[in-house]
Amino acid sequence: MRQTFSILIILLTFQMSFACSCGKYRTFISASKDSELIIKAKVLKHNYYNRKRQSVSKEKINETEFFGHSILVEVLEIIKGQESRKTFEIYGGSEWKYASDCKMKIDGMKIDKTYIFSLYKSIESKHSQPNENKDDYSLYACQESYIEYNDQTESVKGVLKGKNLDKKRIMPYEKLKDKITFYNNGYNSLRLNSLSEFNAYLLSFGYGGKNPADFSATKS
């Protein structure tokens, strides 16, 4: 009986530890095509919730137990999608010992710092964190879900594109927005005036000399 119970505990632990398994990790631009909302936003505060859905301080959190962790953000600009609220919560990895919610951890995000977020609407399920509901957003762990924004240089930094997923690139913010728009909507979204202007734009992606009719925006 004791042996059977031990086996069940091991199987349960294994299942919970590997409930979230990623295929290929996606870059920020590549993942943008499936994101529901992409925003430029400032982190206002970190929120922590216990099992009773009560707001508590970080000091009262036992990191070996299940708890909720979100950030409250102020939206500065919407790059993709629609959202009327100026502030809302984004849930990250629960940081529980056996986390199974497939969310990217957010403990390293700094208050008053600006980031670019690639978000999905939260889904209420058995894996939802305390106080998380369908009006909130979450960060998916199997992709580059947020990148840093530099106010002084108006640039971004993160795993933006390419096959080297360990390489963080720096890119002008306006260029990132153009790439996301192009990757999501294709040539017609660019409102360019000529084929030569289109080819010049392709060169910024590393392509050139293609006919717009033959081009498919499938690379990041």
pLDDT tens string 161-212: 988 888 999 999 999 999 999 888 764 445 444 444 545 544 555 544 444 3
pTM flag (> 0.85): no
DSSP secondary structure code for residue 36 in this structure? S
DSSP secondary structure code for residue 39 in this structure? E
Degrees, nearest 5: CA angle 138-126-49: 60
Give the model's pLDDT for residue 203. 56
Q: Which residue has the higher pLDDT, 54 or 41?
A: 41
- Ordered by where they begin, the domains of the chain are 28-173 (2.40.50), 186-220 (no CATH)
Place of tokens 């400032």: 42
Average pLDDT, the chain: 78
Dig out the tokens for 132 from the structure: 């998380």
β-sheet bridge partners, residue 41: 75, 115
pLDDT tens string 103-145: 888 988 999 999 999 999 998 777 788 889 999 999 988 899 9
Q: Are 76 and 89 in contact (CB under 8 A)?
A: no
Q: Looking at the predicted structure, is the pLDDT value of residue 10 above 50?
A: no
Burial class (CB in 10 A: 0-12, 13-18, 19+), 72: middle
Q: Looking at the predicted structure, is the pLDDT value of residue 79 above 90?
A: yes
